[in-house]
A and B are shown apart, each in its own frame.
Chain A
Amino acid sequence: MLRVSALAFGYDLNIAGIGDPSIAIGVPGGNHLLALVDATMAGSPDGITDSQRAIIDELGPESLVDAASVFGNFEMMNRVAEGTGISIPAQAIDRMKDTIDKLGIDSLQKS
Protein backbone atom coordinates (compact mmCIF):
# COMPACT_ATOMS: atom_id res chain seq x y z
CA MET A 1 0.00 0.00 0.00
CA LEU A 2 2.97 2.34 0.47
CA ARG A 3 3.82 2.19 -3.22
CA VAL A 4 0.21 2.68 -4.29
CA SER A 5 -0.41 5.55 -1.90
CA ALA A 6 2.85 7.27 -2.90
CA LEU A 7 1.67 7.08 -6.51
CA ALA A 8 -1.71 8.49 -5.52
CA PHE A 9 -0.02 11.56 -4.04
CA GLY A 10 2.49 11.92 -6.87
CA TYR A 11 5.56 11.18 -4.76
CA ASP A 12 8.78 9.77 -6.17
CA LEU A 13 9.07 7.04 -3.54
CA ASN A 14 12.37 5.27 -2.96
CA ILE A 15 11.21 2.14 -1.14
CA ALA A 16 14.78 1.33 -0.10
CA GLY A 17 14.45 4.14 2.47
CA ILE A 18 12.24 1.89 4.58
CA GLY A 19 15.18 -0.44 5.06
CA ASP A 20 17.82 2.27 5.24
CA PRO A 21 16.62 5.61 6.66
CA SER A 22 19.82 7.33 5.51
CA ILE A 23 18.33 7.15 1.98
CA ALA A 24 15.96 9.97 1.00
CA ILE A 25 12.58 8.24 0.81
CA GLY A 26 10.93 10.81 -1.43
CA VAL A 27 7.85 11.56 0.67
CA PRO A 28 7.44 14.88 2.53
CA GLY A 29 8.62 14.45 6.11
CA GLY A 30 9.17 10.75 5.45
CA ASN A 31 12.69 10.57 6.80
CA HIS A 32 11.63 12.39 9.99
CA LEU A 33 8.90 9.78 10.44
CA LEU A 34 11.45 6.99 10.01
CA ALA A 35 13.69 8.70 12.55
CA LEU A 36 10.86 8.90 15.09
CA VAL A 37 10.19 5.17 14.79
CA ASP A 38 13.86 4.34 15.19
CA ALA A 39 14.41 6.70 18.12
CA THR A 40 11.33 5.38 19.90
CA MET A 41 12.35 1.76 19.46
CA ALA A 42 15.86 2.61 20.62
CA GLY A 43 14.48 4.42 23.68
CA SER A 44 16.49 7.50 22.78
CA PRO A 45 14.97 10.63 24.42
CA ASP A 46 17.19 12.99 22.42
CA GLY A 47 16.39 11.21 19.17
CA ILE A 48 12.68 11.32 19.96
CA THR A 49 12.82 15.04 20.74
CA ASP A 50 14.79 15.84 17.58
CA SER A 51 12.49 13.88 15.29
CA GLN A 52 9.39 15.27 17.02
CA ARG A 53 10.64 18.81 16.43
CA ALA A 54 11.34 18.08 12.77
CA ILE A 55 7.89 16.53 12.26
CA ILE A 56 6.15 19.45 13.96
CA ASP A 57 8.13 21.98 11.90
CA GLU A 58 7.62 20.27 8.54
CA LEU A 59 4.25 18.53 8.88
CA GLY A 60 2.51 20.17 11.85
CA PRO A 61 1.63 19.09 15.42
CA GLU A 62 -1.31 16.93 14.33
CA SER A 63 1.06 14.83 12.24
CA LEU A 64 3.14 13.98 15.29
CA VAL A 65 0.03 12.63 17.01
CA ASP A 66 -0.79 10.60 13.89
CA ALA A 67 2.76 9.23 13.69
CA ALA A 68 2.71 8.19 17.35
CA SER A 69 -0.70 6.55 17.08
CA VAL A 70 0.20 4.66 13.89
CA PHE A 71 3.40 3.50 15.56
CA GLY A 72 1.37 2.27 18.53
CA ASN A 73 -1.14 0.57 16.25
CA PHE A 74 1.59 -1.40 14.48
CA GLU A 75 3.29 -2.29 17.73
CA MET A 76 -0.05 -3.94 18.48
CA MET A 77 -0.62 -5.47 15.04
CA ASN A 78 2.86 -6.98 14.88
CA ARG A 79 2.33 -8.65 18.24
CA VAL A 80 -1.07 -10.01 17.29
CA ALA A 81 0.49 -11.40 14.10
CA GLU A 82 3.42 -13.01 15.91
CA GLY A 83 1.32 -14.31 18.79
CA THR A 84 -1.47 -15.82 16.72
CA GLY A 85 0.74 -16.93 13.83
CA ILE A 86 -1.53 -15.45 11.17
CA SER A 87 0.34 -15.15 7.92
CA ILE A 88 0.04 -13.06 4.79
CA PRO A 89 -1.78 -14.85 1.96
CA ALA A 90 0.57 -16.25 -0.70
CA GLN A 91 -0.95 -14.07 -3.42
CA ALA A 92 -0.17 -10.93 -1.39
CA ILE A 93 3.44 -12.04 -1.04
CA ASP A 94 3.62 -12.56 -4.81
CA ARG A 95 2.19 -9.08 -5.32
CA MET A 96 4.83 -7.55 -3.04
CA LYS A 97 7.77 -9.57 -4.34
CA ASP A 98 9.57 -6.53 -5.73
CA THR A 99 9.38 -4.69 -2.40
CA ILE A 100 10.34 -7.80 -0.46
CA ASP A 101 13.43 -8.24 -2.63
CA LYS A 102 14.42 -4.58 -2.34
CA LEU A 103 14.17 -4.61 1.45
CA GLY A 104 15.69 -8.07 1.83
CA ILE A 105 12.87 -9.17 4.13
CA ASP A 106 12.05 -12.57 2.66
CA SER A 107 13.65 -14.14 5.72
CA LEU A 108 10.94 -12.62 7.93
CA GLN A 109 8.21 -14.76 6.40
CA LYS A 110 6.96 -17.32 8.88
CA SER A 111 4.62 -20.21 8.45
Chain B
Amino acid sequence: MAHVFEFKGSPVPIRDDLKDAYTRLWSHLAEPGPTLTGTQRLEIAAHVRMARSGDTPQPNDLPSSLLTLAATLFVDPSRVDGPMVLQTTEAVGDPMVVEAISIASMLSAVDGAHAALGADLEPLPSPLVGNPTDEITRGLKRRHTHVPMPAGAIPIALDLLPSVGKAFRNSFGPQYMMEHEMASADFDRTPGLNRAQIEIVSSRTSLRNKCFY
Protein backbone atom coordinates (compact mmCIF):
# COMPACT_ATOMS: atom_id res chain seq x y z
CA MET B 1 0.00 0.00 0.00
CA ALA B 2 1.40 3.40 -1.01
CA HIS B 3 2.48 5.83 1.67
CA VAL B 4 0.00 8.69 2.14
CA PHE B 5 1.40 12.19 2.54
CA GLU B 6 -0.64 14.25 5.01
CA PHE B 7 1.23 17.59 5.12
CA LYS B 8 0.00 17.91 8.70
CA GLY B 9 0.18 21.56 9.77
CA SER B 10 0.06 23.05 6.27
CA PRO B 11 -2.19 26.13 6.19
CA VAL B 12 -3.31 25.33 2.64
CA PRO B 13 -4.46 22.19 0.79
CA ILE B 14 -1.82 20.44 -1.32
CA ARG B 15 -2.32 19.60 -4.99
CA ASP B 16 -2.70 15.90 -5.76
CA ASP B 17 0.10 15.85 -8.35
CA LEU B 18 2.59 17.01 -5.71
CA LYS B 19 1.36 14.41 -3.23
CA ASP B 20 1.69 11.77 -5.94
CA ALA B 21 5.22 12.92 -6.80
CA TYR B 22 6.34 12.66 -3.19
CA THR B 23 4.63 9.29 -2.82
CA ARG B 24 6.67 8.08 -5.80
CA LEU B 25 9.87 9.48 -4.26
CA TRP B 26 9.09 7.73 -0.97
CA SER B 27 8.54 4.44 -2.81
CA HIS B 28 11.79 4.99 -4.68
CA LEU B 29 13.69 5.61 -1.43
CA ALA B 30 12.25 2.44 0.12
CA GLU B 31 13.16 0.16 -2.79
CA PRO B 32 16.46 -1.66 -3.19
CA GLY B 33 18.74 0.61 -5.21
CA PRO B 34 21.59 -0.19 -7.58
CA THR B 35 24.16 -0.67 -4.78
CA LEU B 36 22.21 -0.46 -1.51
CA THR B 37 19.27 -2.35 -0.01
CA GLY B 38 16.08 -0.51 0.91
CA THR B 39 17.09 -0.73 4.55
CA GLN B 40 20.49 0.83 3.85
CA ARG B 41 18.95 3.61 1.75
CA LEU B 42 16.60 4.52 4.57
CA GLU B 43 19.45 4.33 7.09
CA ILE B 44 21.15 7.05 5.05
CA ALA B 45 17.94 9.08 5.00
CA ALA B 46 17.50 8.73 8.76
CA HIS B 47 21.17 9.55 9.34
CA VAL B 48 21.07 12.82 7.41
CA ARG B 49 17.86 13.93 9.08
CA MET B 50 19.46 13.33 12.47
CA ALA B 51 22.59 15.19 11.40
CA ARG B 52 20.44 18.21 10.64
CA SER B 53 18.41 18.03 13.84
CA GLY B 54 21.52 17.49 15.96
CA ASP B 55 20.29 14.13 17.28
CA THR B 56 22.70 11.24 17.66
CA PRO B 57 22.41 9.00 14.58
CA GLN B 58 21.54 5.34 15.05
CA PRO B 59 24.55 3.08 14.51
CA ASN B 60 24.62 1.14 11.24
CA ASP B 61 27.10 -0.77 9.10
CA LEU B 62 27.40 1.75 6.27
CA PRO B 63 30.85 3.21 5.48
CA SER B 64 31.48 6.28 7.61
CA SER B 65 32.82 8.30 4.68
CA LEU B 66 29.58 7.70 2.78
CA LEU B 67 27.48 8.81 5.75
CA THR B 68 29.62 11.89 6.26
CA LEU B 69 29.30 12.88 2.61
CA ALA B 70 25.52 12.39 2.63
CA ALA B 71 25.08 14.30 5.88
CA THR B 72 27.28 17.18 4.72
CA LEU B 73 25.39 17.40 1.46
CA PHE B 74 22.05 17.40 3.28
CA VAL B 75 22.98 19.91 5.99
CA ASP B 76 25.38 22.28 4.22
CA PRO B 77 25.77 21.47 0.52
CA SER B 78 28.28 24.24 -0.15
CA ARG B 79 30.83 22.36 2.00
CA VAL B 80 30.88 19.46 -0.44
CA ASP B 81 33.73 19.69 -2.90
CA GLY B 82 35.65 17.52 -5.32
CA PRO B 83 38.22 16.17 -2.86
CA MET B 84 35.51 15.12 -0.39
CA VAL B 85 33.56 13.27 -3.08
CA LEU B 86 36.65 11.68 -4.61
CA GLN B 87 37.85 10.48 -1.22
CA THR B 88 34.50 8.75 -0.76
CA THR B 89 34.44 7.26 -4.26
CA GLU B 90 37.88 5.80 -3.60
CA ALA B 91 36.47 4.10 -0.50
CA VAL B 92 33.13 2.81 -1.82
CA GLY B 93 33.04 3.36 -5.60
CA ASP B 94 31.24 5.83 -7.84
CA PRO B 95 27.85 4.08 -7.99
CA MET B 96 27.34 3.99 -4.22
CA VAL B 97 28.36 7.63 -3.93
CA VAL B 98 25.86 8.67 -6.63
CA GLU B 99 23.18 6.66 -4.85
CA ALA B 100 23.90 8.41 -1.55
CA ILE B 101 23.91 11.82 -3.29
CA SER B 102 20.50 11.03 -4.75
CA ILE B 103 19.05 10.00 -1.40
CA ALA B 104 20.21 13.15 0.39
CA SER B 105 19.08 15.33 -2.52
CA MET B 106 15.62 13.82 -3.00
CA LEU B 107 14.97 13.87 0.73
CA SER B 108 15.91 17.57 0.70
CA ALA B 109 13.15 18.20 -1.82
CA VAL B 110 10.45 16.58 0.27
CA ASP B 111 11.64 17.93 3.62
CA GLY B 112 12.25 21.38 2.13
CA ALA B 113 8.71 21.68 0.82
CA HIS B 114 7.32 20.51 4.15
CA ALA B 115 9.44 23.08 6.00
CA ALA B 116 8.28 25.93 3.74
CA LEU B 117 4.69 24.88 4.29
CA GLY B 118 5.25 24.70 8.04
CA ALA B 119 4.14 21.05 7.88
CA ASP B 120 5.44 18.22 10.03
CA LEU B 121 8.15 16.15 8.37
CA GLU B 122 6.75 12.96 6.90
CA PRO B 123 7.94 9.79 8.65
CA LEU B 124 10.28 7.77 6.45
CA PRO B 125 8.71 4.77 4.73
CA SER B 126 9.35 1.14 5.63
CA PRO B 127 12.05 -0.49 3.51
CA LEU B 128 11.14 -2.99 0.82
CA VAL B 129 12.92 -6.31 0.89
CA GLY B 130 15.40 -7.27 -1.82
CA ASN B 131 18.99 -7.20 -2.96
CA PRO B 132 20.63 -4.26 -4.74
CA THR B 133 19.77 -4.30 -8.44
CA ASP B 134 23.28 -3.63 -9.80
CA GLU B 135 21.61 -1.52 -12.52
CA ILE B 136 24.58 0.68 -13.39
CA THR B 137 25.50 2.32 -16.71
CA ARG B 138 28.95 1.10 -17.73
CA GLY B 139 31.58 3.09 -19.57
CA LEU B 140 30.70 6.61 -18.40
CA LYS B 141 33.50 8.98 -17.50
CA ARG B 142 33.99 12.12 -15.44
CA ARG B 143 33.41 15.30 -17.44
CA HIS B 144 35.25 17.71 -15.15
CA THR B 145 32.71 16.42 -12.62
CA HIS B 146 33.06 14.60 -9.30
CA VAL B 147 31.31 11.47 -10.63
CA PRO B 148 30.87 9.84 -14.05
CA MET B 149 27.85 10.97 -16.08
CA PRO B 150 26.70 11.34 -19.68
CA ALA B 151 27.24 14.63 -21.52
CA GLY B 152 24.47 17.12 -20.82
CA ALA B 153 22.87 19.31 -18.22
CA ILE B 154 21.79 18.62 -14.66
CA PRO B 155 18.77 16.41 -15.43
CA ILE B 156 21.18 13.63 -16.48
CA ALA B 157 23.66 14.14 -13.63
CA LEU B 158 22.56 10.95 -11.82
CA ASP B 159 22.34 8.77 -14.93
CA LEU B 160 25.22 6.55 -13.87
CA LEU B 161 22.27 4.88 -12.14
CA PRO B 162 19.42 4.84 -14.71
CA SER B 163 16.56 4.14 -12.30
CA VAL B 164 17.78 6.91 -10.00
CA GLY B 165 18.12 9.40 -12.84
CA LYS B 166 14.59 8.57 -13.97
CA ALA B 167 13.14 9.09 -10.48
CA PHE B 168 15.01 12.40 -10.23
CA ARG B 169 13.65 13.68 -13.56
CA ASN B 170 10.12 12.45 -12.84
CA SER B 171 10.00 14.70 -9.77
CA PHE B 172 10.57 17.95 -11.71
CA GLY B 173 7.10 18.50 -13.17
CA PRO B 174 4.94 18.70 -10.05
CA GLN B 175 7.62 20.54 -8.07
CA TYR B 176 8.78 23.01 -10.69
CA MET B 177 7.86 22.49 -14.34
CA MET B 178 7.77 19.69 -16.86
CA GLU B 179 10.95 19.60 -18.96
CA HIS B 180 9.10 20.88 -22.07
CA GLU B 181 7.65 23.77 -20.03
CA MET B 182 11.10 24.93 -18.89
CA ALA B 183 11.69 26.59 -22.29
CA SER B 184 8.64 28.85 -21.80
CA ALA B 185 9.44 32.24 -20.27
CA ASP B 186 5.71 32.91 -19.96
CA PHE B 187 4.81 29.66 -18.19
CA ASP B 188 1.97 30.34 -15.76
CA ARG B 189 0.61 27.74 -13.34
CA THR B 190 -2.84 29.32 -13.02
CA PRO B 191 -3.90 29.31 -10.24
CA GLY B 192 -0.44 29.64 -8.74
CA LEU B 193 2.91 31.21 -9.55
CA ASN B 194 4.06 32.38 -12.96
CA ARG B 195 7.56 31.78 -14.33
CA ALA B 196 9.04 35.02 -13.00
CA GLN B 197 7.75 34.31 -9.49
CA ILE B 198 8.97 30.71 -9.70
CA GLU B 199 12.45 31.88 -10.67
CA ILE B 200 12.56 34.30 -7.75
CA VAL B 201 12.16 31.31 -5.41
CA SER B 202 14.68 29.19 -7.32
CA SER B 203 17.26 32.00 -7.52
CA ARG B 204 17.08 32.96 -3.86
CA THR B 205 17.22 29.30 -2.79
CA SER B 206 20.33 28.69 -4.89
CA LEU B 207 21.96 31.89 -3.67
CA ARG B 208 21.32 30.95 -0.03
CA ASN B 209 22.76 27.50 -0.71
CA LYS B 210 25.79 29.20 -2.28
CA CYS B 211 25.13 27.14 -5.37
CA PHE B 212 25.79 28.80 -8.69
CA TYR B 213 23.97 26.24 -10.82
Contact = CB atoms under 8 A, between A and B. Distances in A.
B5 interface: no
A85 B147 contact: yes
Interface residues of B, number: 75
B55 to A, nearest CB: 15
B200 A25 contact: yes
Interface in A59-100: 59-88
A83 B73 contact: yes
Given A65-B18, A73-B172, A81-B157, A1 B82 contact: no
A18 B200 contact: yes
Given A77-B213, A82-B211, A34 B105 contact: no
The interface residues of chain A, by DSSP majority, are classed as helix
Interface string B169-213: 001101110000000011101011111111111111111111111
Given A1-B195, A88-B213, A108-B210, A18 B77 contact: no
A110 B81 contact: yes
A70 B194 contact: no
Nearest to A26: B196
A84 B203 CA distance: 20
A103 B197 CA distance: 18
Contacts of B115: 40, 43, 48
Interface of A: 1-2, 4-9, 11, 13, 18-19, 21, 25, 27-30, 33-34, 36-38, 40-41, 43, 45, 48-49, 52, 56, 59-88, 103, 105, 108-111
Given A66-B192, A85-B147, A87-B213, 19 more contacts: A1-B185, A1-B195, A34-B204, A37-B205, A61-B11, A62-B191, A65-B14, A72-B110, A74-B202, A75-B112, A76-B112, A77-B154, A78-B205, A80-B101, A80-B154, A82-B209, A84-B149, A88-B212, A108-B210
9 contacts: A11-B196, A45-B118, A67-B197, A70-B193, A70-B198, A72-B114, A74-B176, A78-B77, A80-B157
Interface of B: 11-15, 18, 69, 73-74, 77-78, 80-82, 85, 97-98, 101-102, 104-106, 108-118, 144-147, 149, 153-154, 157-158, 168, 171-172, 174-176, 185-187, 189, 191-213
